[in-house]
Structure 1
Amino acid sequence: MDNIDKKILKQLQSNSKQNIKEIASKVGLSVTPTYERVKKLEQAEIIKSYVALLDRDKIGKKFVAFCQITLLRHHKELIDDFKTHTIKFPEIMECHHISGNFDFLLKIVVNDITQYQKFINEKLSLLDCISTINSSFVMESVKDTTVFEL
Structure 2
Amino acid sequence: MDQLDETDKVILRTLQKDAKKTAKEIAASLKLTTSPVYDRIRRLERLGFIKKYVAILDKTLINRTVTSICQVSMRYHNETFIENFEQEIKKLPEVQRCYHLAGQVDFVLEIHVRSLEEYHDFVKYKLSKIENIGSLNSTFVLKEIKQSSEFYI
Task: Give yes or no for TM over 0.5.
Answer: yes
Residue aligning to 1:55: 58
- Opposite residue 131 of structure 2, the aligned amino acid is D
Aligned CA-pair RMSD: 0.7
Give the paired residue count. 150
**What does 1:94-113 correspond to in 2, within 5 Å?**
94-113=97-116
Residue aligning to 2:81: 78
C-alpha displacement of 1:149: 1.1
Q: Secondary structure at the match of 1:133?
A: strand
Distance in structure 2 (CA, Å) of the matches to 1:127 and 1:47: 33
C-alpha displacement of 1:95: 0.6
Distance in structure 2 (CA, Å) of the matches to 1:19 and 1:35: 9
Q: Percent identity?
A: 36
Distance in structure 1 (CA, Å) of the matches to 2:32 and 2:128: 54
Segments of 4+ moved more than 6 angstroms: none
Distance in structure 2 (CA, Å) of the matches to 1:50 and 1:134: 33
**Which of 91, 94, 101 is the aligned partner of 1:91?**
94
Gaps of 5+ in 2: none
C-alpha displacement of 1:28: 2.9
The superposition leaves residues 53-96 of structure 1 with CA deviations (integer Å, 9 ceiling, x where unpaired) of 10001110000001100011110011001001000000000011
The more displaced of 81-90 and 21-30 is: 21-30
TM-score (norm 1): 0.98
Residue aligning to 1:45: 48
Residue aligning to 1:5: 8
Gaps of 5+ in 1: none
